[in-house]
Amino acid sequence: MEELPNGFTGFNRRGPGFTSAGDAMRKARRSAEMGRDETHYRESGRKAAQHGWQLPREKLIVGEQRRGMGPQTDPTDMKRYLRVPDVLAGEFGPVYDMQALAEIPEYDRRWSWVEISLSAIRHNTMTVKNSLQPGVRLMAVVKADAYGHGAVQCARTMLNSGAEQLGVATVDEGIELREAGIQAPILILSEPPISAIPLLLAHKLLPSVYTVEFAVRYAEAADSIDQRAPYHLKVNTGMNRIGVHYSEVTEFLRQVSFHRALDLVGTFTHFATADEQDTMEIERANNRFLTALDAMEAVGIDPGIVHSSNSAATTRFPQLQYDMVRVGLSLYGYYSTPEMFGMIDLIPAMSVHARITDVKNVPLGEGVSYFLTYRSGGYAKVCTVPIGYADGLRFGLSNKIDFVMEGRQHPQVGNICMDQCMFEVSQRTRGASFEHLDPQIGDEVLIVGAQGDAFATIDQMAEVLGSMSYEVCIGFGNGRMPRVYV
């Protein structure tokens, strides 16, 4: 038996070839779900296209034209970027106008960017809000910079379209929203370190609480400056991530009840299986939550705002909405499970764009990109776009996805590099007739987006990667590419 440095023995570590019953079940389920994969992303692509989530083909447009300065303006007219006329600068050389230089947009410095449709965010928020049971409040979850869509911009749009509260993961995410002037209640969805308590009080951020020590230190800190210490109690009903065990909730409250500054303003749990087809586990978790709420009622404690549901649970189980729901993914326009397609109408808010930086004919049999994993079939034009795995276009997608240009899907070919990758425009292009396609440097390509019947979706990439839409959109949005709001 292997001795591990922390004193644990390795006895429960799996040997090679070990398959638990759970693993076998998961594997079976995964392969059953495989049959649905194609429908899953085709459906979200179709929905995107239906909602006019498309772009006309654009020829090269430089920043001056985008900014309405007219096509005649020369982007390299250097006179506009100098502070003093050249003759006066003399022997020290030109003095640049840093402000004028800063006005050259990021998407004209490198040809890849992310567009976020705030009207899609608005549509999704109103749709979710209208689907709720009467009187149920909507907390918009904007953690991880709004899943890569930009926390401040999204939070403002969501609050203007029916959301009442905001949920974040970290204290700094809460502070960012406060510093942008947002006044709505902000819940931190986990318990921060005790050392962050002064920040909670100063910025009026609500913590989720599940340890006695945090509760007491928080209350004492608030009391010392004559403030209240409002919080939401997190209940563990079986996910076993964080929370007071559902059977110990009244005992926990008894232990902290001596402190007069504490205000229990909400009680909540989080389900581990809200998007799973089988509903047995979520029913079990909800029964545990009800047990905890009943126990609180029995000793006369008001649980405040009761909430349990994320996106999937909100739409799939309206009876679990309680007083409020915490919705993230749906507001950005992604479906947690294919089952939700018929239940709610969402529009993906993120599209990813690039412009062609190189075009070449690659003769039959020649390879493309590192390790030459792709070989040209001839008669193909290989185009390069400046987006790679450092921008969220994950290496695991290499040779397995299509991009969209001129209303057609074009296969990405060769290994995806850190900052660039290639795609092929040829007769094997999906949906192409034998019409001539003539890609040029500067032409716009959709890495994620829809145009006519052609689409490339985040859901599709998530399927290829064995990941989830959450991770893929965060990868694009929170990486190196500029975000543009449209």
Ligand X SMILES: *Cc1c(COP(=O)(O)O)cnc(C)c1O
Measured from the CB atom, is 333 or 414 closer to ligand X? 333
Q: Which residue has its beta carbon closest to ligand X?
A: 328
- The answer to whether residue 370 is catalytic is yes
Coil vs helix vs strand at 107:
helix
Measured from the CB atom, is 155 or 329 closer to ligand X? 329
Give the span between the Cα atoms of 262 and 430, in whole angstroms. Answer: 62
Active-site residue (options: 129, 143, 234, 381) = 143
Burial of 453 (0-12, 13-18, 19+ CB in 10 A): middle
Could you tell me which of 229, 340, 485, 203 has the C-alpha nearest to residue 327? 340
Give the span between the Cα atoms of 35 and 458, in whole angstroms. Answer: 18
Q: State the nearest-atom distance from the C-beta of 282 to ligand X, in Å.
A: 13
Residues near ligand X, by CB under 6 A: 141, 143, 189, 270, 310-311, 326-329, 336
Measured from the CB atom, is 143 or 316 closer to ligand X? 143
Measured from the CB atom, is 315 or 409 closer to ligand X? 315
Q: State the nearest-atom distance from the C-beta of 268 to ligand X, in Å.
A: 8
Torsion of CA 184, 296, 234, 281, to 10 degrees: -120
Q: State the nearest-atom distance from the C-beta of 167 to ligand X, in Å.
A: 6
Measured from the CB atom, is 143 or 288 closer to ligand X? 143
- Are the C-beta atoms of 356 and 384 separated by less than 8 Å? yes
Measured from the CB atom, is 237 or 310 closer to ligand X? 310
Handedness of CA 208, 213, 219, 224 (dihedral sign): negative
Q: State the nearest-atom distance from the C-beta of 267 to ligand X, in Å.
A: 13
Q: How far is CA 143 from CA 83, 88, 154, 158, in A?
A: 42, 52, 11, 13
- Are the C-beta atoms of 266 and 209 separated by less than 8 Å? no
Q: State the nearest-atom distance from the C-beta of 275 to ligand X, in Å.
A: 8
Q: State the nearest-atom distance from the C-beta of 147 to ligand X, in Å.
A: 7
Q: DSSP per residue over 444-483, as a string? A: EEEEEEEETTEEE-HHHHHHHHT--HHHHHHHHHTSSS-E
Q: How many residues does the chain have?
A: 486
Q: State the nearest-atom distance from the C-beta of 440 to ligand X, in Å.
A: 40
- Are the C-beta atoms of 389 and 479 separated by less than 8 Å? no
- The answer to whether residue 27 is catalytic is no
- Are the C-beta atoms of 296 and 312 separated by less than 8 Å? no
Measured from the CB atom, is 146 or 368 closer to ligand X? 146
Locate 343 and state its tokens: 């239940």
Active-site residue (options: 27, 204, 370, 379) = 370
Give the residue numbers marked as catalytic. Answer: 143, 370
